[in-house]
Amino acid sequence: MTTNPSAEAQGSRIGPPPPFDPELAAALEIIREQLPSSFSIEMIPALREGIALSEGADLDLTRDGAFEVEERTVPGPQGAPDISLLICRPTRAAAAVPVVYNVHGGGMVIGDNRTGVGEMLDWAEELGTAVVSVEYRLAPEHPHPALVEDCYAGLKWTAEHAGELGFDPERIIVAGASAGGGLTAAVALLARDRGTPVLLGQVLLCPMLDDRNDTPSSHQMAGLGVWDRAANHMGWTALLGDARGGPDVSPYAAPARADDLSGLPPAFIDVGSAETFRDEAVAYASGLWQAGGRAELHVWPGGFHGYDLMAPQAALSQDTKAARLRWLRRLLEN
Amino acid sequence: MKELAGRLAALDPDAGAALQVIAYFDRLIEGRAGLESLVRGAAVLSGCPARLVDEERGVRVRVEAEGTRRDDGGPLDPAWPSAPLTPDGPPAVWLERTGVSDGVHAMVLERAAAAARAVLDRTRGRAPAEARQADPASVEVLLDAAATEHARRQAAVRLGLRNVSAARVVATAEGGPLVEAVPATGDSTPTTGGRRAGIGPAVPVRDLPASWAAARTALRFTAEGTDQDPGPRTVYADELGGLALLADTVGPTTEPVPDVRALEHAVATAPWAASTLNAVAFSTSLRAAAAELNVHHSTLQDRLVQAEHWLDWPVQDPHGRLRLQLALVLRRLHRNAAR
């Protein structure tokens, strides 16, 4: 079960925004020139264009031959188009390897299966895992449940073809950042409720979990940083239309809506203290613990949304990434 | 950020890149970022490892181009571009690159060095005296007995007194107080910068307000050391003994006792009176006083006859000498106002 830490409930006790970490604030100064805090739906085509220009092409997915990379078309959800999976397998694996299943971010409206895959490959190189990254349909052209069902279909196919791909079906970890973190949590709920596959862990990085968009942190950070309250409103509206924030939103769309968080795989959750998603991420971790689950929560002081991707050199980003890697290592070695 | 670093490395310097460099360091300064962040900024913005080396303060920070700190980088290469922390000082911030540096690299160096200087002055103090003056606000808090203990502890840390067992205050005639660590063993000469100074007792850092009060008292017993204002330029509070009590009762507005009036009269009458009487009062013998004054013994005798006439008391017997010593000391207290 979860509670919505809504701003209304907190009344006037919401203080000023927490300060950004000094290094991150300096980086934000530069990032801001390329990326506004808020987006409107009309900006989506331009954003997609911008992302296409900045990502993907020059990314060496093979890491100098450490990975064998293929793009595989696999069946989508019932009655829906096929989906594409980016599959990166370690070339030097002797036995079945664990697999990190990446659900990319992008506010439900942008991004592709290259987005954010760099860090997953860092983990894979360090821990000897494979990486599978799913290309899911995007809102607003494709509203809920297209996105989460695509993600689930790709996950199910990966588990079912583990033997053929050289994966250990007992050790599948789902992971995603931002909207990808929300979809990752949703996929974990689906896998639990449908009984398959059984997941080893879920990694929710600054996850987008709550369509109500009304936590104290979402109010505090309005107009500040990256992906503020208005941008978040846009993203959820693209996914849910008029249902956004209403009484009938499925937990498979917004995992913060789940009444039952029992029986989920161990979770790693991290988030910055100076971002929209802080309170919903903390609430989700609390919900997991209250349901008797295992979760490790990191709230990094002064982090804005996606700071580790946009300012990877900052000390806080380095610590953030190190903590993820340590958790994954413990998970895989136990 | 990655994109920016790539751009700076690849592009000709242009106003846009320079502005971004300025904005980046300005925000770091605003956020009171530490040295490592500054060096990391220099490294990432210029796309090569960067170093900060300040031998005087024992600071060495090295950060790789992608932002990882790695201090073991081998020797410095004089061919690398560098910038000093102070205009004519030794090179302190380095970019580990060879070949032609462009305007953006120069801008990175300049901004990083300026920011590093501010942080170093704020966080580590300077090795000698200037640094303690560089942060008068912290000194003020440290010496203010009414400030909270927490604020005073923070100020001590900023002044580099975190792990110091004893410290003292030097009160100077011009300029603010100086706070300096006192080594547990061996003598240490107080830092006075050549100014008249009262030296407070060495105390634990938390008791520095008391050392400051004592130092101010000691300062009042100092003199310019000139012919017209003879006496010691440096006075230790520890060595005042019972004289310290006089400081509480005598000030510029106190009515002078007749001995002091007589002394002032003598000093006003003959240019040699002040230095001569001071030498006689505080030397071990008349011979030593004559040597100190660089006059013949008989000249000194003549002067004393004249002076005793003006003062109207004998100055060579023990009681008269004490009266003379007290009159000279009281004269300084009248002249040196409490601060």
- In this structure, of A77-86, A323-332, B51-60, B187-196, the range with the lowest mean pLDDT score is B187-196
In whole angstroms, give the CA distance from residue A330 to residue A327. Answer: 5
What's the pLDDT at B104?
86
ipTM confidence score: 0.77
What's the pLDDT at B193?
73
From residue B224, how far is each of B176, B220, B321 by CA, in Å? 18, 11, 22
Residue B111 sits at the chain A interface (C-beta within 8 Å): no
Say whether the peptide bond before residue A216 is cis (omega within 30 degrees of 0). Answer: no
Chain B residues inside the 8 Å CB shell of A31: 1
Tally of CB atoms within 10 A around B98: 11
* B300-317 pLDDT per residue, tens: 999 999 999 999 999 989
What residues have CB less than 8 Å from B143, skipping those under 6 apart? B169, B177, B179, B208, B209, B212
Contact B3 A315 (CB under 8 A): no
Contact B37 A30 (CB under 8 A): no
Residue B278 sits at the chain A interface (C-beta within 8 Å): no
In whole angstroms, give the CA distance from residue B321 to residue B315. Answer: 5
Residue of A nearest to B67 (CA): A313
Out of B20, B30, B67, whose CB is closest to A312? B67
**Mean pLDDT for the stretch of residues B322-334:** 94
| pLDDT classification of B158: cutoffs 50, 70, 90 | confident
From residue B301, how far is each of A27, A298, B266, B277, B304 by CA, in Å? 81, 87, 16, 12, 5
Position B129 pLDDT exceeds 50: no
Chain B residues inside the 8 Å CB shell of A22: 27-28, 30-34, 37
Chain B residues inside the 8 Å CB shell of A34: 3
What's the pLDDT at B136?
77
**Mean pLDDT for the stretch of residues B130-144:** 72
Chain A residues inside the 8 Å CB shell of B24: 26-27, 29-30
**Mean pLDDT for the stretch of residues B242-270:** 90
Chain B residues inside the 8 Å CB shell of A314: 37, 40, 67
Tally of CB atoms within 10 A around A222: 17
* A179-223 pLDDT per residue, tens: 999 999 999 999 999 999 999 999 999 999 999 999 999 999 999
What's the pLDDT at A10?
59
When the pLDDT of each residue in chain B is averaged and rounded to a whole number, the result is 86
- A65, two tokens: 């031959």
Residue B31 sits at the chain A interface (C-beta within 8 Å): yes
Which residue in A81, A85, A36, A86 sits closest to A62, CA to CA?
A86
What's the pLDDT at B127?
45
Position B224 pLDDT exceeds 80: yes
Identify which has the larger pLDDT, A274 or B128. A274
What's the pLDDT at B123?
77
Per the CB < 8 A criterion, the answer to whether B112 and B50 are in contact is: yes
Which residue in A38, A43, A47 sits closest to A228, CA to CA?
A38
- Residue of B3, B8, B19, B27 best to disrupt the A interface, most CBs of A under 10 A: B27
Assign A134 to helix, strand or coil.
Answer: strand
Tally of CB atoms within 10 A around B196: 21
What's the pLDDT at B87?
78
Contact A21 B25 (CB under 8 A): no
pLDDT less than 50: residues of chain A: 53
Chain B residues inside the 8 Å CB shell of A315: 36-37, 40, 67
Which residue in B323, B169, B308, B330 sits closest to B236, CA to CA?
B169
Position B18 pLDDT exceeds 90: no
What's the pLDDT at A135?
97
In whole angstroms, give the CA distance from residue A128 to residue A131. Answer: 10
Identity of the amino acid at A10: Q
Which residue in B137, B104, B134 sits closest to B119, CA to CA?
B134
Position B9 pLDDT exceeds 60: no
What's the pLDDT at B132?
45
